[in-house]
Amino acid sequence: MDTAAPARPDIPGDRSPVRRVQMLGYASGNFGKNVLASTMDFFLLFILTERWGISPAAAGLVVMIGLVWDGVCDPLLGRLVDRSADRLGAYRRMLFVGAPVVGIFFAIFFLRPGAPGSLGQHAIMVWAITIVLLFRSAYSVCDVAHNALMMQLTRTPGAATTVSGLRYMFSCCGTLAVAYCAPAFVDPDRDGGHALVVVAGLAAVAYVVTLWLSAAAAPRSTPMSTHAQNGSFAWIVGNRPLLMLLALALAQALTLPVLARSVAYIGKGVIHDAGWTGHALATLALAQLVTLPGWMALARRRERRVVLRFALVAIAIGLGIFAAGPATMIAGIAVFGAGNAGLQMMIWILLADAVDHGERRTGVRLEGLPVALLLLTLKVGGGLSGALLGRGLSAIGWTVGQPLVQESRDLLLTMAWSIPLVGALAGLAIVLGSTPARLNRPAAIA
């Protein structure tokens, strides 16, 4: 991979107090984003099946429709912001206006549409799909703006590692908050459902506050760069680091989320302890948070290829430990989380590298479109993954209120680790098959 773009004289150095405050303020948005994203990722399927009585296959379809629609919206928004003469202003406006809309639709989703059994399956499906699509449309606006804003903060050597690491630290804190509140989702009707409504409302407020903080922390000016009017297709197709990244992102998004999404079902159907779900998710988040500084240090000193290989091998080892039996599942989740922290951090570092590579190659800097393409890939993969899990649950005979037979329990556990393992091995093959020039540069120390 080419060397990093030279530092811009009109951007404060990454060591300056102003720059660090900007990075922290920006990265805090990942707390609110991940509170909502983790909630929907871990519990959307579960809420649809266990609270609303939708079949697992139909619930998986709702998950897929929402994420795919979100992903399809992203490139359209990315293309628009890349054409803007004031990209930073556009990012801030999208965050300030869009965040409250996202929070409102998120909170509405967790209000039961009528008393149990008062609505038919068709009406509940229509209601669920409508709210999910409205939520995902608004979420897409903020997601593109927030992630594209990162590209403005990574234009000095080493900044991508710092910003990506800080983002993921806040994401892990968001996951911890969701894990703490897991009982409200695993047992949504306790206390008449009031706990679920309160938790959803607090999550929505956290999202709005942190996204507004991110917008307020954005730099007020940016170096002039050539804005794309035409040739975006050639910019993307000729950007080999970006194409490699998209392949890696699809492989992991299609498979790795199956483990975390299975946790609520394992806690209820295999362990028979709702508290186990929160414990497992907390372990996942803590393992990521604790190991992240080590991944940041490694990314500054070793080649991209080496760091990715270590992360994917750690994920595979964690899945192997998880598969060994009930006594080792939590330990396996911890090792899996440690590897996943490195992988997720590196994905956004590689995106910043790809944006810089495209600017050096063509003289045109695209930000919104490459960010949107990565989001499209992640969300389509995640949507298909949700549909795959829903089909799998139907195949093993998961039925609301009915205990699982031993064979179904074994199949559920096998599905939880085997699908992510396939993804980890596929990601490893992509990394090993890429030419060294695309992944050979460590980040400069920020």
Tokens of 441: 């540069």
Closest Cα to residue 356, out of 154, 197, 207, 170?
A: 154
Tokens of 146: 């927030």
Residue 291 has pLDDT above 70, yes or no: yes
Q: Mean pLDDT throughout 42-60? A: 85
Residue 313 has pLDDT above 90, yes or no: yes
Model pLDDT, residue 53: 81
pLDDT per residue as tens digits for the range 369-422: 888 899 889 989 998 998 999 999 999 988 876 778 889 999 999 999 999 999
Model pLDDT, residue 320: 96
Pure H helices in 154-273? 159-180, 182-186, 194-217, 232-237, 240-255, 257-266
Direct distance between the N- and C-terminal alpha carbons of the chain, in angstroms, rounded to an integer: 19
Residue 272 has pLDDT above 90, yes or no: no
Model pLDDT, residue 397: 86
Q: Residue 234: CA atoms inside 13 Å, Cβ hemisphere, count?
A: 9
pLDDT per residue as tens digits for the range 117-157: 556 778 888 888 999 999 999 999 998 888 888 887 776 76
**pTM metric for this prediction:** 0.79
- Euclidean distance between CA atoms 441 and 366, whole angstroms: 21
Instruction: Give residue 11's pLDDT band: very low, low, confident or very high (50, 70, 90).
Output: very low
Are the beta carbons of 365 and 358 closer than 8 angstroms? yes
Weakest mean pLDDT among 60-64, 348-352, 442-446: 442-446
Model pLDDT, residue 15: 54
Tokens of 23: 């990075």
Model pLDDT, residue 434: 75
- Euclidean distance between CA atoms 271 and 329, whole angstroms: 11
pLDDT per residue as tens digits for the range 27-38: 999 999 999 988
pLDDT per residue as tens digits for the range 104-121: 999 988 876 655 555 677
Q: What burial letters (b/e) apply to 286-317, b meaning 16+ CB within 10 Å? A: bbbbebbeebbebbbeeebbbbbbbbbebbbb
Weakest mean pLDDT among 12-26, 40-54, 227-241, 389-403: 12-26
Residue 18: count other Cβ atoms within 10 Å of its Cβ. 10
- Euclidean distance between CA atoms 28 and 37, whole angstroms: 14
Q: Which residues contact 407 (CB under 8 A, 6 or more apart)?
A: none
Tokens of 428: 């490893």
